[in-house]
Amino acid sequence: MKYISTRGQVSPIGFIDAILMGLADDGGLLVPQHIPQVSEATLQKWQELSYPELALEIFSLYVNDEIPRADLKKLVDDSYATFRDEAVTPVRKLDDSRYILELFHGPTFAFKDVALQFLGNLYSYVSAKTNSVIHILGATSGDTGASAIEGVRGKEGIRICILHPHQKVSKVQELQMTTINDANVLNLAVEGTFDDCQRIIKDLFADVDFKVKYHLRAINSINIARILAQTVYYFYAYFQLAKQGHSGKVSFSVPTGNFGDIFAGYLAKKMGLSVDKLVLATNENNILARFVSEGVYEPGAFRGTHSPSMDIQVASNFERYLFYLYGEDPQTVTQLMAQFKADSRIVVTGDALKQVQADFAAYSVGNEECLDTISEYYQKYGYLLDPHTACGAAASDKLAAEGETAIVLSTAHPAKFDEAIRLRSISQTYPEQIQQLFDKPQFVTVVGGTNEEIKNRLVSFF
């Protein structure tokens, strides 16, 4: 399998180079040259596999022989052995048509572990194979940072520096990042917002001399390995229902920010999984919901919500969908992205808009509605949703037809967002691993927001 750019200016590269490149050199995003098609017979066989076995089969389709199968198997097994649930991503039944796919049983209690445990091991493997160091630099609004740090802490050949906005992440998120005392981890708390952190990272990556000299690599969700890792649980969830006697199509409702997770669902469908609707759930930052209903992709004003990991105006994976929407034509994508740069909007009309509306149903969930949903599910099912998952549940309830089978992706454990849950006077007991964080010392440096200051910190760290 080779990988190409959505903008067509990168000659096809292999899997490992695609992982290392992150953002394509022409400014586009990397996609597989062909999407592998999975036959009905193969799907039948896959139904019997455990999560790691299934992940191995799916990754094999995308990795070819670039990583020997035995090595790939070890990478996969190591990545999912850290999950607390035997099924890795279990499906819970709420009633005959409502299911929750729990993606939060990894080390940091958020779904990002599913991809970042794997990516961390993959980077470490590549570092050992190529005998080179890998320096990971990233910005986080909370979940990605903790998950990326857990993915690489203590690993040979890798150092990681994560910027987060000082005192603007949830308490548990802050503790998860800063209580880690491995020599290869540096936490910088920036006096500013998440956007300030992202701007610094962007500037440092744009400084080509600095980037090359220090072997900087990204971990953001545009990395194709993250998307591939996330396709696995769509298949796995479907198979879990099939084993319980369910047949036919299933809808998935996906709490969406950067469009990575729902794009993985779109890819699973294109590979041949029997997906009915992909429900795109947003919070009040509803650019993507507006796109699906009106065909206009245009950032609005930023809104702070109870689901901060979805507080995103420009969805970094969206370009991948445009590529498929326009028949895998890099010229059209290049034009559309140039138009977006010039006018800050993309408009899709006619047949293309009809296609968008066939691919997705979308709903934007208000702040109060999010909290109402948490209360409602707690009373009705005795099930506590985190505020991100609550957006998915609210959208699913709004859009699913009577009796239609819907799986809501649960992207975080409620303990990570207790601040929101307490607003509805619901008290929860923290899992032991989270409770323990409160007694640990923190390792973090508070810094101002200048590029120069961050650069100096990095140079002495590396």
Binding site for ligand PLP (CB under 6 A): 110, 112, 143, 221, 255-261, 309-310, 388, 411-412
Distances (CA, A) of 105 to 87, 108, 131, 314, 411: 9, 8, 33, 28, 10
Taking the complex as a whole, the smallest distance from the CB of residue 387 to ligand PLP amounts, in Å, to 8
Dist CA 205 CA 32 (whole Å): 24
% helix / strand / coil in the chain, to the nearest 5? 50, 15, 35
Taking the complex as a whole, the smallest distance from the CB of residue 145 to ligand PLP amounts, in Å, to 10
Q: Which of 93, 112, 202, 380 is catalytic?
A: 112
Taking the complex as a whole, the smallest distance from the CB of residue 12 to ligand PLP amounts, in Å, to 26
Taking the complex as a whole, the smallest distance from the CB of residue 211 to ligand PLP amounts, in Å, to 24
45 is catalytic: no
Dist CA 376 CA 398 (whole Å): 14
Taking the complex as a whole, the smallest distance from the CB of residue 129 to ligand PLP amounts, in Å, to 28
Q: Which is nearer to ligand PLP, 124 or 221 (CB)?
A: 221
Q: Which is nearer to ligand PLP, 107 or 260 (CB)?
A: 260
Q: Minimal CA–CA distance to 363: which of 248, 302, 264, 277?
A: 277
- Residue 185 makes CB contacts below 8 A (sequence gap 6+) with 149, 152, 153, 159, 160, 161, 162, 443
Dist CA 225 CA 448 (whole Å): 33
Pure H helices in 344-386: 350-359, 367-381
Q: Which is nearer to ligand PLP, 6 or 144 (CB)?
A: 144
Dist CA 344 CA 338 (whole Å): 9
Q: Which is nearer to ligand PLP, 256 or 334 (CB)?
A: 256
Pairing mode of beta strands 296-297, 158-165: unpaired
Q: Which is nearer to ligand PLP, 138 or 257 (CB)?
A: 257
Catalytic residue positions?
Answer: 112
